[in-house]
Amino acid sequence: MGARRLVEDMIHKLKDRDSLILVGSVMGLGLILWLMALPLATLPAPIGPAAAQFSAGALTTIELTLWASVFGLVLGILAALGKRSHIPPARWVADLYVWVIRGTPLLLQILFFFLAVPAIAPQLQLSEFWTAVIALSLNVGAYNAEVIRAGINAVPTGQVEAARSLGLSLVYTFWDIVLPQAVRISLPPLANNMVALLKDSSLAYAIGVVELSMVSSRVQAESFQPVPVFMTVAAIYLLLTTTFTQFAAALERKLAVGKR
Amino acid sequence: MNTMQNGTPIIRVEHVYKAWGAFTALNDVSISFNEGEVVCIIGPSGSGKSTLLRTINRLERQNAGRIVVDGIELDDDLKHIDAVRTEVGMVFQSFNLFSHMTVLDNITLAPRRVRKWSADKARQVALELLERVGLSAHAQKYPSQLSGGQQQRVAIARALAMQPKIMLFDEPTSALDPEMVNEVLLVMRDLAESGMTMLIVTHEMGFAREVADRVIFFDHGCIVEESSDPQQFFSNPTHPRAQAFLKQIKHAA
């Protein structure tokens, strides 16, 4: 009985427009990445012959973005909690982290993780891709921390009092009451950070990750035709960021249900 | 009105003191409340009524004094605090329903998390409670889709779902439009008749007069008058501050 109700409930929820956009944009992103090479291959040189490269580059860009988004969200929540902690060392670590990351260029951070960290500790040598993921995660995490902290502060104290008065522990109060509402409040700026991250992932090019910008640079260098190459890459970036913003906007409207 | 009174104190408040800076909210307050008793706490704003309620489930920490609820001393031990909170339900002036959850989820959350009930059991109890407060049709709605009176009734159902021994009401009708006050008072009257131990901070004098086993009058952080004969208290209070307060309220009404 419970399972059936759950399925009916899900079908009911999926019927509204925002859910369709949510599902649609995820599937759309998959389709774009999967089928992008087909239309690109029909274009004249220098784009057509490099279609597979563009497609692979876009996939790498998205992989970088999604991994760094997930880690960055976790880091952002942890750092936001650290900044609000009653334990001074936790506050110091979180403040230091946000201060350093936001005060230095991302390109420098990527190079640091690629060149300086292995120089200090050779056993920490990772592939270019995972080095980029770590640097991007730490970067977006610091920006997310401020956004999530503001979101937590914006949850009315009455919500916490109600939860605590029902006997819910601090952990459940945070997980069930504060975090969902904080994320809902933080969603527009968080989505902004994700879109910025997608574009910033192009800096992974500096350490040799073969993502979209690296592909454009290579194809341009082989063909000496910067105009069609960079136009194509810009169009692909726009397509990706638009899909992301559509997803975020639909999610925002969806989570706004029940908002006061 | 109440028959369950058996004289056992379920809440003991001893020499409790609470201040914020220079402002003293509770000044050496000592009082106990019996099981099954319905106590209305009245008095002017800022007199310490709400603070007393909020120290009883540790939403405020007293600066000095002892509070023992159902045999559990409210010290700094988080386990004791959580144990008291599971036995003490609270209803707030501003409802404080979880705005991102449906009515049903608002009610089932704490029983599932704290009492470790199954989803089915929590749901069943929640639906029974919603029926009791007359809101069965609204289980799947969000708080923002309900009127103030409906929200407050959900808040009462949410607190009752934990099957508390004591219910605290902190000005439950003060934020309501006048035409919604009655629907909430009806639910509370029903609860009082069922034998629940209730502490009610209220400005509804008619309700207090009718339902209370005992009335407590607060002024400047102290209990200045206490009466187990509400009829007598409301028609003929002894303390001058209580006389002035009731007179003013009568004028307003």
Of all residues in chain A, the one with the smallest CA distance to B102 is A258
pLDDT digits (tens, 9 = 90+) for B161-200: 999 999 999 999 999 998 899 999 999 999 999 999 999 9
pLDDT value at residue B3: 42
The yes-or-no verdict on residue B7 having pLDDT over 70 is no
CB B17 within 8 A of CB B26: yes
Given a cut of 50, whether residue B156 has pLDDT beyond it is yes
Higher pLDDT, A12 or A226: A226
B109 touches chain A (CB under 8 A): yes
pLDDT, residue B6, reads 52
Mean of the per-residue pLDDT values of chain A: 88
Check pLDDT > 80 for residue A157: yes
User: How large is the average pLDDT for residues A85-100?
Assistant: 94
Per the model's pLDDT, the better-predicted residue between B112 and B46 turns out to be B112
CA distance B196 to chain A (A): 17
Candidate from B57, B96, B102 with C-beta closest to A159: B96
The predicted structure's pLDDT at residue A172 = 94
- Residue A259 is predicted with a pLDDT of 55
Q: Does B82 touch chain A (CB under 8 A)?
A: yes
- Of A81-85, A208-212, A250-254, B87-91, the poorest mean pLDDT is in A250-254
B10 interface with A at CB cutoff 8 Å = no
Say yes or no for a CB contact (<8 Å) between A165 and B120: no
CATH architecture of A2-39+49-254: Orthogonal Bundle (1.10)
Q: Do B98 and A166 touch (CB under 8 A)?
A: no
* Percent of chain A scoring above 70 in pLDDT: 93
Please tell me the predicted confidence (pLDDT) of residue B4: 45
Top residue of B50, B59, B92, B96 to mutate, by most chain A CBs within 10 Å, is B96
Q: What is the pLDDT of residue A34?
A: 78
Q: In chain B, pLDDT over 90 holds for what percent of residues?
A: 81
Choose the mutation target among A160, A166, A181, A187 for the interface with B, i.e. most B CBs under 10 Å.
A166
Chain A residues within 8 angstroms (CB to CB) of chain B: 2, 156, 158-159, 161-169, 172, 176-177, 180-181, 184, 255, 257-260
pLDDT tens for B98-111 read 999 999 999 999 99
Q: Which residues of B touch A163 (CB under 8 A)?
A: 98, 110
| pLDDT recorded at residue B170 | 96
Question: Is B96 within 8 Å of A2 when comparing Cβ atoms?
Answer: no
pLDDT digits (tens, 9 = 90+) for B51-79: 999 999 999 999 999 999 999 999 999 89
pLDDT in tens, A177-220: 999 999 888 988 999 899 999 999 999 999 989 889 998 899 88
B144 touches chain A (CB under 8 A): yes
**Does residue B28 have a pLDDT over 90?**
yes
Using pLDDT thresholds of 50, 70 and 90, give the confidence band for residue A101: very high
Average pLDDT of span A224-252: 88
- Are B162 and A259 a contacting pair at CB < 8 A? no
Chain B residue numbers touching A181 (CB-CB < 8 A): 99-100
Q: In chain B, what is the straight-line distance between the N-terminal and C-terminal CA atoms, in Å?
A: 25
For the segment A36-65, the average pLDDT, to the nearest whole number, is 84
Pairing status of strand B64-69 against strand B72-73:
antiparallel
3-state SS of chain B? CCCCCCCCEEEEEEEEEEEECCEEEEEEEEEEEECCCEEEEECCCCCCHHHHHHHHCCCCCCCEEEEEECCEECCCCHHHHHHHHHHEEEECCCCCCCCCCCHHHHHHHHHHHCCCCCHHHHHHHHHHHHHHCCCHHHCCCCHHHCCHHHHHHHHHHHHHCCCCCEEEEECCCCCCCHHHHHHHHHHHHHHHHCCCEEEEECCCHHHHHHHCCEEEEEECCEEEEEECCHHHHHHCCCCHHHHHHHHHHHHHC
Check residue A124 and report its DSSP letter: G
Nearest-Cα residue of chain B relative to residue A181: B100
- Chain B closest CA to A157's CA: distance in Å? 9
What pTM, to 2 d.p., does this model score? 0.81
The stretch A154-170 carries a mean pLDDT of: 94
Per-residue pLDDT tens over the stretch B227-239: 999 988 998 888 9
More confident residue, A103 or B8: A103
pLDDT over 60 (residue A260): no
* pLDDT higher at B94 or A16: B94
Query: What pLDDT, on the 0 to 100 scale, is given for residue A249?
Result: 85
Which residue of A13, A86, A155, A165 to mutate against B (max B Cβ within 10 Å)? A165
Would you place residue B217 in the very low, low, confident or very high pLDDT band (cuts 50, 70, 90)?
very high
Residues from chain B contacting residue A186 (CB–CB below 8 Å): none
What was the pLDDT predicted at A244? 87
Count contacts between A and B (CB, < 8 Å). 78
pLDDT of A107 strictly over 70: yes
Instruction: Give residue A201's pLDDT.
Output: 94
| Residue with the larger pLDDT of the pair A17 and B76 | B76
Does residue B56 sit at the A interface (CB-CB below 8 Å)?
no
Q: What ipTM was predicted for this assembly?
A: 0.91
